[in-house]
Structure 1
Amino acid sequence: MAAGRGEFFSSLLLGLERTSAPRTTGTRQPSGGRGKPGSARGLPGTGGGRVDRWRRKKEPKERRLPSEILLKILSYLDASSLLCVGHVSKLFHRLGDDDVTWQKIYTSEFMSQTWKPKSAGDEEDEEEEEEEDRSAGRWKKMYFRAMVGQEVTKWRKELSEISPSTGLPTQTERVLRNLNVSWELTLRDRRGREVTLAPSRLHFFESSVIVRWSAGGFPARYRDIGGIRLHGVRRERRSHETRKPGWRSLMLKLDLKTRPPRFIGADRLVRLVHLSPGFIIGIWRGQDSVAFIMVSLHFHQLVEKSLLGSPVCPYTEPADRLPPADHRDPEFGLHGYTLHFVLHNTGSEIMSGHFRQLSCRADRFRRGLVELTVVNRADPSQHRSLSGSIKLPWKSDALEGSVENCCIMTSTLLDEFQKPFWCVSSPVCVTTAKAPPPRCFDYSGEHFAMGHRSPDGEVRMTLVWLKEQKQFFLVSLAVYVALYKLNERFGRKF
């Protein structure tokens, strides 16, 4: 039936047009001039065109097929086709919500054909539900509610397997690909005009994905962009001849007036600006036009954010307040935390580490932040080398390049119950730092700093460039979590 659906609707609309066409006779149409037959004296306006328009208003409405026949035709459609028909006109929207049609679809999909005896309590509950849901569209709502619930249960079961190193589901990438999830970017200019772009390339990693848009369609000038919206979109797998619009789930909505971008690097072709939380915009040097846009998305709750939000409202993660038992003691304050930390670009990992048993004494809670020391500068056994150079490859429609001293940081902080507590995936850049005072063990190379800052916390890194080895060494790493997040998570008042 799906193969001939387009021809069916075309013939249906053609028949409606033929039925509603006014009948014409061989007599000459009366003229609307003054003193001639057919003139309308006393009517507002004596011009022929105005009189004809007035007469057309008085003519009976266009004839169409009876609603009973249209309902019979629509009853042969499947659920997705019936939903699309509802967008044709107000008439089809009303007919597409017919309870009898949707009841048949719901019964054929979900209700068992075998008879089961019901208790008196079940019958009373059903009567109460029927009284509450007698409004139009009841069975349509029940159908989509059941469809969503059935599918959500299935992919959530697939996401139940947790990686011991990251604390995240191991099958996130596979679930996203199986559900045919993609991400669309909507750009709004200063005049309110909008353009929606499909992604050009996806780069999957162990705990994040980088989405890139570089196929053109950007506003003429970068400064014309007033707002950005990111939607998760799931499209049905169909042939290229019939492509239906997918469900859109709002994930991010940014206003460039209230959230100005920050310069993070450049090469001979483009300069990069960072738009918090994870957007990178490449702008052609010497011009004001956009070359590409990238965003880094953390895997934590990514499937839910991409599917369960509405087109205008993002998905809200349910409160997961854990018991505060043994969470604070006089000696440690916090203990048993774990950090999975990765530096990478669009093609490869630069550094990856898994750090366990992180702790913080109660007297280190300062300025509303909780400090967790991950790599201690005074302990050389904790220092790590970075493989390769720090750079961020990019690609536009026709050109490509690489920006030095810029990459992506993906950080996953797990609490003492090994549950994700603070997850970040954001671009970072290398800046010059002052060398610290000499200690028992130190490097003689040039010192650099990298970091990330947001209302939820900070990440601070210190790097040393060793000229002989021609590589960076990570000599210190600390995570600072906002105290309010800790209080919200455990219901405490630190």
Structure 2
Amino acid sequence: MINNAYLTKMASRHREHLSGYLGAHKAGKPNNSSLSKSKATTSTEQGTVQSQSKDVPVLFTSSARSRATYLSAKTRPVVKITGKATINHLPDELLLKIFSYLDAGHLLLAARVCKRWLPVAKDNLLWERIVARYCGPSTSASNQTLQSGQNTSAVSSKNLFIKSVSSSRNKKALRFLKKINPFTGLSRDTDKALKSAGVYFQLTLIDQYQNEHVLNSKDVFYHQMAATTRWYDLEVPKIKHIKKIQVHSINPLFFNNKGTAIYNSPYQRSLLLSHDLDWNKVLKRITDFDNLHLLFLPNGFVLCLERCKMLLNWLCLFQGDGELAFVSMGLHCNQLVQRCLLGSSDIPYDIGTHKVIPDDIDSSYGLHDYQCTVEIRTSRNSIWSQQFNCLSCKKENIGSGFAVFPLIRKDYHCDHVILQKKLQFPWKTDAFRGIVENVAWIDVTVLDERGEPFWCISSLSRVGEQCLQKNFDFDYSSEDVYTLSFMDERGKLEAQMSKTDDDNFFMTILNLKLSLDRINAWFGTTYK
């Protein structure tokens, strides 16, 4: 604690210095008393003063010693003030007194104002009282013991408080994950967990000069297996200048009495996605529609580019007036709460390494007893969903590096399903809105024989059209066949459809294909 006699002495010195300063300015002369005192300092103090700015007082020392130690020193260099005094000329003791009236949230915001306030706002004298108030005196006492025994930095009390409030927030959210949805095999209340933690999402666009353009999500829609978030009303640079895209979850630290996150509260960030944009490769992955261009990126990430009427090819789009219209992203619910709350701003949450359990008795180990749940939907509403149990792959169905699991078979009419709603993707910008036909979200969850998630996806996919020479053998016959598919390094989902008389899609084939490399790595097998 600060010596009271020393504080009285320091206050007297400040009054004397301020009185001389004001008197000198009234008379139009420099402050001789302060100059004489400055000349009387020791050689060590003179070196310290010269190393600091003449207009800024000496700051507290770094984490090597605490600010309380600095304040208890017998001598303090006096800085000459030239011109008009500002708040930056206040001694650290007065700033410390002013900051003592702030709560934790405003203190964190004050630390971000400038470098002058940062070390003062981190002072242990401020945060020890906050820790004792919110975390209890025992926690504060244990922190003091830790400081005296291990010589920790002056920001340890602040870190202890943030750790305490974030841990309380996380425990409250993780309680919602105990109940499992039998239809999907995932946590049933993922949406409630994220809403209780006040989580929302932030898009960061990094341009060629490493400038960050940060945008908060406009809305989030939750479904059985995934969530969809989107950004529009974008004020960002030209699309050709964007070199990297990042998505973070924003996790507030402070909540009101009703448990709702306080608006504009200090928060933590957790990295969910980071994607570098190489435009030489991106140009090949753009899908053209009537009034916009869609760019499909990995991990369910979709960019929409406004179409320029005067441009005739893709290359001109990025050299001309191409603008980013909106951004949409699908987030699968598998460990989504953990990924949002337990990651860092630079490194995504590590979901852990799967433990391989070998089996030398079962000759078809890793090829049977899968469960697959598929949902086709828009951003807001479900179009069709179905669960497929006890899936098995015969060894003769292994080929081209995949194990094939038929979900809907062409020759079994009882398997065929009619999609009662149109496949479409509604979009919205700050000024316009519309619908892209024959584009829909696909959510897939594949569980292995132990009920562990083996493959989880949430991605936007386009319906393609192909022409066949002969008709399908079912009631709604047509020469045109439509395909809906998705593929990544873990597997493929392939569907074939036709259209009914009222233009609804009629699904006749649906195949799940899992990568043999992933099966071998997951189960310790050697299938080829």
Shorter-chain TM-score tier: 0.7 to 0.9
CA pair 100-482 structure 1, distance change in 2 beyond 3 A? farther
- How many angstroms apart in 2 are the aligned matches of 1:150 and 1:250? 21
Residue 248 of structure 1 pairs with residue 278 of structure 2 = no
Superposition TM-score, scaled by structure 1 size: 0.77
Deviation by residue 1:278-307 (Cα, 9 ceiling, x = unmatched): 122222222522222211111112222222
Aligned positions, number: 440
Residue 355 of structure 1 pairs with residue 380 of structure 2 = no
Residue 224 of structure 1 pairs with residue 258 of structure 2 = no
Residue 389 of structure 1 pairs with residue 422 of structure 2 = yes
Residue 292 of structure 1 pairs with residue 326 of structure 2 = yes
The offset of 1:60, in angstroms, is 3.2
Which stretches in structure 1 are left out of the alignment for 5+ residues? 1-14, 30-53, 115-122
Residue 207 of structure 1 pairs with residue 225 of structure 2 = yes
The offset of 1:411, in angstroms, is 0.7
- For 1:93, the equivalent position in structure 2 comes to 118
Which stretches in structure 2 are left out of the alignment for 5+ residues? 1-14, 31-52, 57-76, 82-87, 310-321
Deviation by residue 1:183-236 (Cα, 9 ceiling, x = unmatched): 1111223343332122223222222222121213132x3333222111111245
Q: What one-letter code is carried by the residue in structure 1 that aligns with 2:119?
A: R
Deviation by residue 1:401-459 (Cα, 9 ceiling, x = unmatched): 11111111111111112222211010111112354888976963221211111122221
Q: How does 1:10-409 map to 2 (within 5 A)?
A: 24-27=25-28, 60-62=79-81, 64-111=89-136, 131-132=149-150, 134-219=152-237, 221-235=238-252, 236=254, 243-257=264-278, 260=282, 262-267=285-290, 269-286=291-308, 288-321=322-355, 323-325=357-359, 329-331=362-364, 333-409=366-442
- How many angstroms apart in 2 are the aligned matches of 1:302 and 1:19? 61
- How many angstroms apart in 1 are the aligned matches of 2:452 and 2:325? 39
DSSP 3-state at the match of 2:172: helix
Deviation by residue 1:288-337 (Cα, 9 ceiling, x = unmatched): 222222111111122222222222222221224264458x7225752211
Deviation by residue 1:450-484 (Cα, 9 ceiling, x = unmatched): 11111222211111223x24321111112222334
CA pair 135-355 structure 1, distance change in 2 beyond 3 A? same
Q: What one-letter code is carried by the residue in structure 2 that aligns with 1:398?
A: A
Q: What one-letter code is carried by the residue in structure 1 that aligns with 2:302?
A: I
- How many angstroms apart in 2 are the aligned matches of 1:410 and 1:281? 19
- The more displaced of 437-446 and 390-399 is 437-446
CA pair 490-332 structure 1, distance change in 2 beyond 3 A? closer
The offset of 1:487, in angstroms, is 4.0
CA pair 20-340 structure 1, distance change in 2 beyond 3 A? farther
- For 2:34, the equivalent position in structure 1 comes to none
DSSP 3-state at the match of 1:318: coil
The offset of 1:237, in angstroms, is 5.5
Contact 2:463 2:484 in 1 (8 A): yes
Contact 1:166 1:340 in 2 (8 A): yes
Aligned residues: CA RMSD: 3.7
Contact 1:332 1:359 in 2 (8 A): no
Contact 1:343 1:350 in 2 (8 A): yes
- For 1:120, the equivalent position in structure 2 comes to none
- The more displaced of 129-138 and 147-156 is 129-138
DSSP 3-state at the match of 1:425: strand
Aligned-pair identity in percent equals 28
Contact 1:393 1:403 in 2 (8 A): yes
Q: What one-letter code is carried by the residue in structure 2 that aligns with 1:430?
A: V
- For 1:10, the equivalent position in structure 2 comes to none
Contact 1:184 1:230 in 2 (8 A): yes
- How many angstroms apart in 1 are the aligned matches of 2:462 and 2:220? 22
Q: What one-letter code is carried by the residue in structure 1 that aligns with 2:269?
A: R
- How many angstroms apart in 2 are the aligned matches of 1:460 and 1:241? 45
- For 1:40, the equivalent position in structure 2 comes to none
Q: What one-letter code is carried by the residue in structure 2 that aligns with 1:304?
A: Q
- How many angstroms apart in 2 are the aligned matches of 1:407 and 1:285? 21
- How many angstroms apart in 2 are the aligned matches of 1:185 and 1:302? 17
Contact 1:188 1:195 in 2 (8 A): yes
